[in-house]
Structure 1
Amino acid sequence: MFEAMKRVKSNALIGIDFGSNSIKAIALSKVGGTFQVDAVAEAPLAKGLIVDNRFEDLTKITQIIDQLRKNFPSSYKNAAIAVTGTDVITKVVTMNANMNELELETQVELEAENSIPFPIDEVFLDFEVLSENVDNSEFNDVLLSAARKETVLSQVDCVEAAHLTVKVVDVASHALARACELLFSRDDHDKGIAIVDIGAAQMTLNIMHKGRMVFSRSKNHGGAICTQMMMEHYGYKFEEAEKIKVSHEWNADCELDIVAPFINMTINHLRYDLRMFTNAPNNIQLEKVILTGGCQLLPELVTQLAEQLELNVEVADPFLGFEYKNAADKALLRDVGVKYMTALGLALRGVQ
């Protein structure tokens, strides 16, 4: 199922990104070679509905997706979703280049049985031949992906119960990288580019080089920690603290006591992860950091990251040059478009 879904082509996909605080969705089409945003929407989630990428209440999540769907043209009946976290594993392996597809599938299953820490009957497998191996032309580099069936099916069940058909199941980090490729110049292709996604509950570092993801690391750190710090410091309820954080309407002492320490914590986490990459024998020089995710909207985060990491830090803005069906969507994505990067990467599966 995981393999079959990935290869389906569609001209009308809603990319749906499931976060711990909200569900974000976007639909794209192509007009005269230019991408067009046909609709975009976000639906908040009550705390605890999605925890560590697991759906805790399928009925309530289905109801939210159903309401979200009503923001999209009726012609959009298909969806692309993504799996992430510890329930999905990707690995680049080398395979003999002379194998036919059936032999390759058999070898991939054998490789998965030996390298994936899940029972093989509990996962969906997929693979993609990337390129010829740089050290031996008789072998190809093959991207192996495995996702737990339980995780995939819970998402599929919710989406399809909300009157959409799931046509694509992707890996969230791959969808994010696909969206970020819209930002790359020709010169960026041969450089090491770090993509840092900071969401509500998770921070992910992906490093791209020559069109491939060469390093990936994630940890449980995100904007929810800043919200929790506000709750504990001021006695706010969750909704109140979240609203203050998102609107930046906090008192001066909050900037010093909460926001600055959270930013320092974030930078220290990222510095540690980047050090793990730079200390590895890969001979790839990092040239740029691209920030995505709602948490990067915090003031001073970009400036301090650039100063402390001594790297060029950019906030992702992939929607430059896009057309829009609705002026309101253009205004929204101009302000918070970086939150929709994973959803964008999923929607691109239907128009590229």
Structure 2
Amino acid sequence: MLTSFWQKQIPLMLGIDIGSHSVKAVLLSHQHNHYKVEAFAIESMSKGAMAEREIQDIEAVGRVIAKIRKKISKNIKHAATAVSGSTVITKVIFMDVTLSDEELESQILIEADSLIPYPLNEVSLDFEKLEVNEADPSKVNVLLSAARTESVEARISAIDIGGFDSKVVDVESYALSRAAQLCFSQLPDDASEKVVATVDIGATMSLLSIIENGETVYTRDQVFGGEQYTRSIVSYYNKTFEEAEKAKLSNDLPPNYTFEVLAPFQTILLQQIRRAIQMYLTTSGKENVDYIIISGGTALINGIDKLIVDELGIHTVLAKPFAELEFSPLVDKDAIEQVAPQLMVATGLALRSFSPWHI
């Protein structure tokens, strides 16, 4: 009954992932226990509009979103977007299990000074009740998220300029975990009971989300991405950045680039993934990660999943979030499947249309 209520009352939201080099958007609907892809779009970002996932030129980003607006049904008015990076903090805290949401909010605001390393007048806070604490049943685990208000407001302003109304500002790593659930069909049947790492490698930022028994238990952002690969192509072959991007995607590069550019980048990429997973294992006390789902634009480098399997010995798949979904007749199925790994965060945001919780 409750599920039916939320589906009827909440209008669909377009998931908008504002990245360093492009804006990605996904629209999903949900009927008869099935998700359907209603629309998607990717538009390139103008140079200098973003820096390390922070908006530098709100109007420029808004113009990119306006291009997406033209490709999406006029009936869709609402959007969900996300923040990431060093300005975002997430913590699991323990609160009295008997507190209502209103009482929780009051208590969190009282204690926030000791929880958040920024002045409270500079941050936006939200929280979500999780499960009852196993060690102390009188406490409930609460996910607290905080982001610099200027980061949140910049995204809201850009989306407003683009012609949408922002209804949700999420955290990218949690949107990534949400989309990862759609990829579990690619993994062995026991994936929902195992430790699954989702690694999203964008242009300048890599996100790690660890899912255990269906719950997000660890997230980490790293300043590393495919732009480093592109700049190596620029340096070695005297190309402009735009030419290098095109050459990278079309594989229009000299035969020796594999040794001069690709192999060194793959080595760094493996080091980054290994280090991120090791930090999780050290923090959690776990012995290993069972499976890896890899996504983001850099995941499209040919053979990256096999490389991770060979070097790290962990069962790895390239994210295909739409593999089990239905498609609107207006969606080019071949086109979306080619870029599916890039659309993970946008997909996780689109899923917020069906999520009544805070975060």
Please say whether Structure 1 and Structure 2 have the same fold, judged by a TM-score greater than 0.5: yes
Q: Which TM-score band (shorter chain)?
A: over 0.9
CA gap of 1:73–1:281, structure 2 versus 1, over 3 A, is: closer
**Alpha carbons 1:206, 1:213 under 8 Å: kept:** yes
Structure 1 runs of 4+ with >6 Å offset: none
C-alpha separation between the residues in 1 aligned to 2:300 and 2:122?
Answer: 38
C-alpha separation between the residues in 2 aligned to 1:109 and 1:254?
Answer: 54
Give the aligned CA root-mean-square deviation in angstroms: 1.6
Q: 1:206 aligns with which of 204, 209, 231?
A: 209
Q: CA deviation at 1:281?
A: 4.8
C-alpha separation between the residues in 2 aligned to 1:220 and 1:100?
Answer: 38
**Matched residue SS, 1:314:** strand
**In the alignment, what sits opposite 1:276?**
279
**Alpha carbons 1:65, 1:162 under 8 Å: kept:** yes
Deviates further, 202-211 or 101-110: 101-110
**Matched residue SS, 1:259:** helix
C-alpha separation between the residues in 1 aligned to 2:111 and 2:74?
Answer: 43
Task: With the length of structure 1 as denominator, give the TM-score of the two structures.
Answer: 0.94
1:228 maps to 2:225: no
**Structure 2: gaps of 5 or more residues:** 1-8
User: Where do residues 1-352 of structure 1 align in structure 2 (5 Å cutoff)?
Assistant: 10-184=10-184, 187-283=190-286, 285-326=288-329, 328-351=331-354
Q: CA deviation at 1:99?
A: 2.2
**Alpha carbons 1:38, 1:325 under 8 Å: kept:** yes
C-alpha separation between the residues in 1 aligned to 2:32 and 2:95?
Answer: 40
**Matched residue SS, 1:137:** coil
Q: Tell me the amino acid that sits aligned with residue 238 of structure 2.
A: G
Q: CA deviation at 1:172?
A: 0.7
**Alpha carbons 1:191, 1:285 under 8 Å: kept:** no
Q: CA deviation at 1:328?
A: 5.0
Q: CA deviation at 1:46?
A: 2.0
Q: Tell me the amino acid that sits aligned with residue 340 of structure 2.
A: G
**Alpha carbons 2:20, 2:51 under 8 Å: kept:** yes
Q: CA deviation at 1:341?
A: 0.5
CA gap of 1:32–1:172, structure 2 versus 1, over 3 A, is: same
Task: With the length of structure 2 as denominator, give the TM-score of the two structures.
Answer: 0.92
Q: CA deviation at 1:124?
A: 1.0
C-alpha separation between the residues in 1 aligned to 2:34 and 2:99?
Answer: 39
C-alpha separation between the residues in 1 aligned to 2:42 and 2:124?
Answer: 29
Deviates further, 235-244 or 292-301: 292-301
**Alpha carbons 2:196, 2:289 under 8 Å: kept:** yes
CA gap of 1:280–1:180, structure 2 versus 1, over 3 A, is: same
C-alpha separation between the residues in 2 aligned to 1:208 and 1:106?
Answer: 30
C-alpha separation between the residues in 1 aligned to 2:282 and 2:109?
Answer: 32
Q: CA deviation at 1:41?
A: 0.5
**Alpha carbons 2:90, 2:143 under 8 Å: kept:** yes
